[in-house]
Structure 1
Amino acid sequence: MKNFEELLPRHKFDIDRVEMIKKMDRDKILPLLPNLLEWIQDMNWPVAPSVLELLLTFPEEIVPLVQDILSSDDDNWKWFILHFLVNKLPVESRIQFREYLTRVAETPAHNELAEELDEIAKKILETI
């Protein structure tokens, strides 16, 4: 089997590689999901919308990976994750973030306020 690194986008303009991944069998894509999430750290990157589209086809599988990101210190990435990914997941997946969303909406840390994570958390909570 190919090295996973060889399958992943190589730069922020590598949309062709994402399109190749989309054509792969789902079971072959699963191990790539953690690395693919890194490509939506900035939704301004040209490759990010294609990666997001792919990630949204794995709503159950990405929940634990997203929970790991939400427990990290990267508040900017959290904003992109909440605004573009969690917000678009089916309600069955979104509901799994209720505890985190409630905490951020009700008692956000200073850095979470600065990134307006409390506002997006409130909006998502209204949908679950």
Structure 2
Amino acid sequence: MVLDDVKQYLPTDKCDYDSIDRLKSLKPEELQRIIPELLEWIQDINWPVAPKIIEILIPLDKLLLPQLRVILRCNEYDWIENCLWYLVRRLNSDTLLELRNELVMLSKSTNPNFIEYEIPQICKEIMSTHSME
């Protein structure tokens, strides 16, 4: 299946539950092609499709790494918080090890927005839980 074909499976709005069923029918290698677009849907965890998309993404585990690195290095603190809280902390320990540099960097952040959203603390908790300190 080509990329354009897979993109037809993406939600069209924040309440597009039919798309969730369509996404669940895709194989991991097909989902991999639209990981960036799927991750955009968790920028606001209050969108009804966001939790459902997270459940679709979690089994992809290592396939998420390239795009998670991009997000964890951006300045969109609410998106980073959502990724950390709802997705990253649920990945396999060996996958988390590959995000160690990003987690350490964020755990030491002095960015006021990151601190307000408790991003450094969340990263410390993730690293502690997975013996990464």
Same fold (TM over 0.5): yes
Match of 1:68 in 2: 70
Asked whether the equivalents of residues 83 and 120 of structure 1 are also in contact (C-alpha less than 8 Å), the reply is: yes
**Per-residue deviation, residues 12-51 of structure 1 (Å, max 9, x unmatched):** 1112212211112222222111100111111111101110
What is the rounded CA distance, in whole Å, between the counterparts of 2:9 and 2:70 in structure 1? 23
Aligned residues: 128
Match of 1:9 in 2: 11
Asked whether the equivalents of residues 61 and 92 of structure 2 are also in contact (C-alpha less than 8 Å), the reply is: yes
What is the rounded CA distance, in whole Å, between the counterparts of 1:83 and 1:26 in structure 2? 22
Match of 1:37 in 2: 39
- Structure 1 gap segments, 5+ residues each: none
What is the rounded CA distance, in whole Å, between the counterparts of 2:88 and 2:115 in structure 1? 18
Asked whether the equivalents of residues 7 and 21 of structure 1 are also in contact (C-alpha less than 8 Å), the reply is: yes
Match of 1:91 in 2: 93
Match of 1:113, as an amino acid? I
Match of 1:126 in 2: 128
Aligned-pair CA distance for 1:121 = 0.7
What is the rounded CA distance, in whole Å, between the counterparts of 1:83 and 1:72 in structure 2? 16
TM-score (norm 2): 0.88
Once superposed, what is the RMSD of the aligned Cα atoms?
1.5
CA 1:36/1:102 → structure 2, altered by over 3 Å: closer, same or farther?
A: same
- Structure 2 gap segments, 5+ residues each: none
Instruction: Give the % identical residues.
Output: 30
SS at match of 2:59: coil
Of residues 54, 57, 60, the one that matches 2:56 is: 54
What is the rounded CA distance, in whole Å, between the counterparts of 2:90 and 2:124 in structure 1? 15
What is the rounded CA distance, in whole Å, between the counterparts of 2:28 and 2:73 in structure 1? 27
